[in-house]
Amino acid sequence: MLPLLRPVPALTPYALVTIVHLVAIAGGAGEVVAATKPLLMPALLLGLVLGLPVRRSRLLLWGGLALVFSWLGDVLLQNPGDIGFLLGTGAFGLAHVAYLALYLGPLRTRRVPWWGILVGVVWWGSMLAALGLWLGALFVPVALYGLVLGAAAVCALATRPVIGVGAAVFLVSDTLLALDRFLPGFSVLEVDLPIMLTYTLGQGLIIAGVIAVARHRAGYADAGALVPTAATTSTAA
């Protein structure tokens, strides 16, 4: 297996909470679902902190902010009504801004590909065309959120592949959520399960990629190694 795709032990708590959460959704255990959802992002943040070889870094700053805002979005979206939705969407918008700073800053390894920009524009335009008639007063905030979300997914293509895949899977989750909430007649069996499956997988892949890149730069043989193989570590991340 490629070094950057090997398991990261620091993410084990996140994996366990995620499994419990997804099983609870599949089993219809609403109380367990409500109890475990606010634990997802703190567990992932713990994994990020424990996994990074250098704590004082832009990787932790922007990655940590993205996870904190994602946690706030998870909590706010559990409140019914448009107010909870707007506040939750705003929090996730800030999370994607933090991810943008991460992708275009310390994680950037190449230019954003032109085809990625094209796909992002087509996705954004298609979503507005499909949902525009049903959004009403929410059109502008949803359009702005979609723009930030799409930009983050596209800019993730300028980083390592595993991070780009994670951002794309995150995009799938939000796409399903938007279609389920606003598009009449849209129905997927147990839609909450694919939404949360893609959400947790996407976030996990992004953070696993961040940790793997940081540890690789610091001279570790792979993401799961306990001891660096290089004599020195890099603090530039």
For the entire predicted model, the pTM comes to: 0.88
Domain ranges of the chain: 3-217
Instruction: Quote the tokens at residue 14.
Output: 């996140």
Residue 144 is encoded by which pair of tokens?
């702005």
Better-scored residue on pLDDT, 86 or 23: 23
What is d(CA 3, CA 151) in angstroms, rounded to the nearest whole number?
28
From the CB of residue 57, how many other CB atoms can be counted at a distance below 10 Å? 18
Is residue 84 exposed (0-12), middle (13-18) or buried (19+ Cβ within 10 Å)? Answer: middle
Token readout for 54 is 């250098």
Whole-angstrom Cα distance, residue 141 to residue 31? 30
**Amino acid making up residue 185:** G
Alpha helices, H only, 52-191: 58-77, 81-104, 114-135, 139-155, 161-182
Per-residue pLDDT reduced to its tens digit, 111-168? 999 999 999 999 999 999 999 888 888 899 999 999 999 999 999 999 999 999 999 9
pLDDT digits (tens, 9 = 90+) for 28-43: 999 999 999 999 999 9
